[in-house]
Amino acid sequence: MKTDERTSVAEIARLFLRMGLTAFGGPAAHIAMFHDEVVKRRKWLSDQHFLDMLGATNLIPGPNSTEMAIHIGYVRAGWRGLIAGGLGFILPAVLIVLALAWLYVQFGTTPAAESMLYGIKPVVVAVILQAIWNLGRKAVKSVFLGIVGMGVLALYLLGINELILLFGGALVVMVVQNARRLRSGGAAVFLPFPLLAQAAVMQTPYSVSQLFLTFLKIGALLYGSGYVLLAFLRTDFVEHLGWLTDQQLLDAVAIGQFTPGPVFTTATFIGYLIGGVGGAVAATIGIFLPSFLFVAITNPLIPRMRQSSWLSSLLDGVNVAAIGLMAAVTLELGRAALVDVVTVVIGILAAILLIRYKVNSTWLIIGGGIIGVVYGLVTA
């Protein structure tokens, strides 16, 4: 299929429903799987277009992988595709998390998933490495951009905040590549960062509207990883509203981490704990709604950004910084995933099957999960 053809809404929905059921490993892994499916296999997008959309998602708040699904749906099938891509990716995870939340309330514990993740994590490392290689060749257009990407990777591993690195890398590239404009009196360009208003510490009676508005605020303002999400959730729901305990919050984040699909489905779990099914629905809509709106606003602007020398340089900087961050996350995930001979073998086999034989990453992840469960039973 050519990149300029349209795609049926049903096909977009089927793809992202499957992604939502099998996309383990966090945003970097999700984006790698999307790249494999829509660039390499289906050829819906070029590498450059995919990179530019990835850069655009890094410039707006919200869950990056979910916003990529929404972008892809919008590009391929317009408004209906936007909705189908986003909902397709979100709904499977929401339903899984909702079921786990019910079990948690009934039995007071989260079901163990260590054996499954034991086999899945090495496969995820292989999937991300392939995406970094493919996208990196397109993003690193010069030695200078390569240096910026390596610098982002190194500084992230030294503990520098990812948002500072992302926007800092973008600004450095934009300024350096447009140095002549600056010397000739070009206008200064800046990026606004959201200012987060701090509410007074208080215990508040539960209301579904308060729950919805709190998650709407988080979805509209949150940049960064699941760790940043954890900070937001603790400030609002543990400290300010008093609706959760620290242990409940940690359990909610754990559920969001080991289930497939977006990590932001942590909101579904928290909403159910606080307000049952109605609370889960309100929380889920609240945290994801801004992403649909942001993508609808920014997607038509991406081609125009490429036509502006300033914004094109900014996008190049965001792209290469995002690749650096993906590489850093992969190193961290690799340390956690490749823990013994078995996991190293799984990772190597997955890489061979993915790169040499072009096996679909979804089947590799399912296979890794099955191997993990079987190995857990054998060694129990």
Q: Encode pLDDT of 40-61 as tens digits.
A: 989 999 998 998 888 888 778 8
Same domain, 134 and 237: no
> Span 293-301, mean pLDDT?
89
pLDDT in tens, 86-95: 999 999 999 9
Position 258, amino acid: F
Shared domain check, 126 and 49:
yes
Same domain, 90 and 232: no
Residue 201 lies in a domain: no
| CA-to-CA dists, residue 109 to 106, 152, 249, 272, angstroms | 8, 39, 13, 15
Q: Residue 182: inside a domain, yes or no?
A: yes
Does the pLDDT value for residue 198 go beyond 50?
no
- pLDDT score of 202: 43
Residue 289: give the domain boundaries. Answer: 208-294
* Environment class of 182 (CB within 10 Å of its CB; exposed 0-12, middle 13-18, buried 19+): middle
- pLDDT score of 203: 63
Angle between helices 114-139 and 47-59 (to 10 degrees): 110
Same domain, 289 and 300: no
Which of the four pLDDT bands, split at 50, 70 and 90, describes residue 262?
confident
Co-location of 43 and 176 in the same domain? yes
Q: Which residue has the tokens 């990407």?
A: 149
Indicate if the pLDDT at residue 199 is higher than 50: no
CA distance 191 to 55: 14
Q: Which residues contact 272 (CB under 8 A, 6 or more apart)?
A: 98, 101, 102, 105, 279, 280
Our measurement of the distance from residue 316's CA atom to the centroid of its chain's CA atoms, rounded to an integer in Å, reads 19
314, 277: one domain: no
Are both 168 and 232 inside the same structural domain?
no
Q: Rounded to an integer, what is the distance from CA 327 to the centroid of its chain?
A: 14
Overall number of domains in the chain: 2
Q: Is residue 3 part of a domain?
A: no
- Tell me the torsion sign for CA atoms 88, 92, 95, 97: negative
Whether 224 and 284 map to the same domain: the answer is: yes
pLDDT band at 170 (very low <50, low <70, confident <90, very high): confident
Residue 75 within any structural domain of the chain: yes
Query: Token match 């909610």: residue?
Result: 252
Q: Do 349 and 278 belong to one domain? A: no
Establish if 299 belongs to a structural domain.
Answer: yes
Q: Which of 273, 294, 315 is the last residue of a domain?
A: 294
User: CA 220 to CA 15: how far, in whole Å?
Assistant: 26
Q: Is pLDDT above 70 for 231?
A: no
CA 228 to chain centre: 13
The amino acid sitting at 372 is G
The residue from 294, 320, 352 where one domain ends is 294
Shared-domain flag, residues 277 and 363: no
Between 106-115, 121-130, 316-325, the lowest mean confidence (pLDDT) is in 106-115
Q: Residue 187's pLDDT is what?
A: 45
Domain boundary residue, one of 270, 294, 318: 294
Statement to judge: residues 38 and 141 lie in one domain: yes
